[in-house]
Amino acid sequence: MSAQTSPDNSPASPPASRPMVGILWMLVTGLFFVAVTATVKMIDGRVPAAQAAFVRYLFGLVLLLPMIGTLISTPISGAGWRLFVMRGVVHTLGVTLWFFAMSRITIAELTALNYMTPVFVTLGAALFLGERLAARRIAAIGVAVLGALIILRPGFREIELGHLAMLCGALFLGASYLLAKRLSGMVPPSVVVAWLSITVTIGLAPLAIPVWVTPSMVDLGWLALVAVFATAGHYTMTLALRAAPVAVTQPVIFLQLVWAVLLGVVFFAEPIDPYVVLGGTIIVCAISFIAWREARLKKKPPPPSAVPGKI
């Protein structure tokens, strides 16, 4: 496919970076995702985790109705279908564990441990996609793990099942991201998102039915809000990444922990845990460094041996 050209036949320049716009959109994204967490917390275990996740994704399917034509007309290979199924399975597990953890640990703890997802993505990209893992990235990953240990403080306090569920959930969600990266090269991004919603809804159904309880209208309303906030958050995150490089927008996600701590204190009477704040800050610094290094490496020209046509 040839490069796009402007009316005067000169190559079209890439969209200009707008750092402040990207930062503002990422700030809004953080607020939406914290709103998701708070809304799930409002259910307070009245709806089992698997059922709550299923109803949330069921509401999300309504947003896919305008895309039915695109989904039907998009050709998908056998390898693509296998990847979609694999992603549906791992994302289903990740979402279920996230909902379970939400009912067991504080909002701040969940938000801080969720920051480990990009770290797992970096490790997975090196192990399964063949991406180079330089010494600085290994060091940054080590720092992030240190941050997680500060949050959990093994040996100094009891590690609850909710903590382990959140760590495993972050691992599964990281695997889902890697599969999405593979799929994005096969079909349009909108199709990747749509099939995720469909496969996860199907995957959650057999987990939700055995534990099903009749939700109240109030709880259904909260779960509908979860779908709205989550969809809005993914959309504004896309706008943020389109407006500015990841290295610029990544550090802003630290504010998500600030909102989570304040929300827990004001609305759920959760005490401020300085170790959670410290550990979360360390993890965010580590993944921000990884994002900055990625941005720097992408700007560098390829070495002579990597230039096409060279021997």
Question: For residue range 195-231, what is the model confidence (pLDDT) as tens digits?
Answer: 988 999 999 999 999 999 999 999 999 988 988 898 8
Q: What is the dihedral of CA 194, 197, 200, 205, to 10 degrees?
A: -130
d(CA 167, CA 146) in angstroms, rounded, equals 14
Residue type (1 letter), 15: P
Instruction: Give 181's pLDDT tier (boundaries 50, 70, 90).
Output: confident
Q: Which long-range contacts (CB under 8 A, 24 or more apart) does 75-82 make?
A: 76/186, 76/187, 77/186, 79/186, 80/183, 80/186, 80/187
Of the candidate ranges 1-15, 17-31, 196-210, the one whose mean pLDDT is the lowest:
1-15
- Give the pLDDT confidence score for residue 13 in this predicted structure: 42
Per-residue pLDDT averaged across 179-185, rounded?
85
Per-residue pLDDT averaged across 174-192, rounded?
85
Quote the tokens at residue 109. 């703890």
d(CA 33, CA 39) in angstroms, rounded, equals 10
Question: For residue range 230-243, what is the model confidence (pLDDT) as tens digits?
Answer: 888 877 877 887 77
- Give the pLDDT confidence score for residue 169 in this predicted structure: 95
Quote the tokens at residue 232. 């809005």
Question: For residue range 101-141, what is the model confidence (pLDDT) as tens digits?
Answer: 988 899 899 989 988 988 888 888 888 877 777 788 888 88
- Give the pLDDT confidence score for residue 159 in this predicted structure: 87
d(CA 91, CA 200) in angstroms, rounded, equals 7
| Contact criterion met (CB below 8 Å) for 58 and 223 | no
Enclosing H/E stretch for 210:
none
Closest CA to 280 of 107, 161, 136, 162: 107
Residue type (1 letter), 194: A
Q: Which of 88-92, 178-182, 220-224 has the highest mean pLDDT?
A: 88-92
- Give the pLDDT confidence score for residue 302 in this predicted structure: 42
d(CA 227, CA 225) in angstroms, rounded, equals 5
Instruction: Give 54's pLDDT tier (boundaries 50, 70, 90).
Output: very high
